[in-house]
């Protein structure tokens, strides 16, 4: 369903279209890969600067979130069709987890 194979032996597969799609995909992957390396360097830089922890910690966490999104959407193909159920469960799990963390931060460890 989700991961249709191009080498399916189906004579009606438009190879030209598939090739163009794959090239595009490859470009996105390379771009996001270099962005991820760049973001990692920025994160290291932020720590090396020895600024206030109130800036560094949220900043690094933000970068981490961006990287997770890149990872999921460009490398694990969540941007493709047929991933509705996995995304629903990922986001529900995230919601439940974040509510838990929020509660713990506010009423146990405050």
Partner 1 sequence: MSTYAQKKGFGATVWDFLTTVDHKKIAILYLLAGGLFFLVGGLEAVFIRIQLAVPNNDFVSAGAFNEIITMHGTTMIFLAAMPILFGFMNAVMPLQIGARDVAFPFLNALGFWLFFFGGVFLNLSWFMGGAPDAGWTSYASLAIHSKGHGIDFYVLGLQISGLGTLIGGINFLVTIINMRAPGMTYMRMPLFTWTTFVASALILFAFPPLTVGLVLMMFDRMFGSNFFVVANGGNTVIWEHLFWIFGHPEVYILVLPAFGIFSEIFSTFSRKRLFGYSSMVFATVLIGFLGFMVWAHHMFTTGLGPVANAIFAVATMAIGVPTGIKIFNWLFTMWGGSVKFTAPMHWAFAFIPSFIMGGVTGVMLAAAAADYQYHDTYFVVAHFHYVIVGGVVFSIFAGVQYWWPKIFGTMLNETLGKLTFWLFFIGFHMTFFIQHFLGLWGMPRRVFTYLPGQGFDTANMISSIGALFMSLGVIVLLINVVVTSVKNVKVGDDPWGDGRTLEWAIPSPPPFYNFKQLPLVRGLDAFWIEKMEGKKGMTPAEPLGDIHMPNASFLPFVIAFGLFIAAFGALYNGEHSWAIPVIVIGLLVTFGSMLVRSVKDDHGFHIHKEELMDDNDKGVKA
Residues within window 68-87 making contact with partner 1, judged by CB under 8 A: 85
Give the separation between CA 80 and CA 50, rounded to whole angstroms: 40
Residue 96 touches partner 1, criterion: CB under 8 A:
yes
Count of residues interacting with partner 1 (CB under 8 A): 13
In angstroms, what is the minimal distance from the CB of 96 to partner 1?
5
Put residue 67 in one of left, alpha, beta given phi > 0 → left and psi -120 to 50 → alpha.
alpha
Residue 99 touches partner 1, criterion: CB under 8 A:
yes
What does the radius of gyration of the chain's CA atoms come to, in whole angstroms?
Answer: 20
Give the separation between CA 73 and CA 77, rounded to whole angstroms: 5
Residue 102 touches partner 1, criterion: CB under 8 A:
no
With respect to partner 1, which residue has the nearer C-beta, 26 or 96? 96
With respect to partner 1, which residue has the nearer C-beta, 53 or 85? 85
Tell me the H-state helices in 1-110: 15-48, 53-70, 84-103
The site for partner 1 (CB under 8 A) is made up of: 85, 89, 92-93, 95-96, 99-100, 103-104, 106-108
């Amino acid at each position: 369903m989700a991961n249709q194979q191009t080498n399916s032996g189906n004579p009606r597969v438009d190879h030209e279209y598939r090739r163009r799609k794959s090239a595009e995909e490859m470009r996105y992957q390379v771009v996001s890969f270099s962005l991820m390396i760049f973001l990692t360097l920025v994160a290291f830089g932020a720590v090396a600067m020895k600024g206030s922890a109130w800036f560094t910690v949220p900043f690094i966490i933000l970068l981490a979130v961006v990287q997770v999104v890149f990872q999921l959407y460009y490398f694990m193909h969540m941007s493709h069709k047929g991933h509705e159920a996995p995304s629903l469960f990922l986001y529900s799990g995230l919601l439940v987890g974040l509510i838990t963390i929020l509660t713990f931060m506010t009423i146990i460890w405050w």
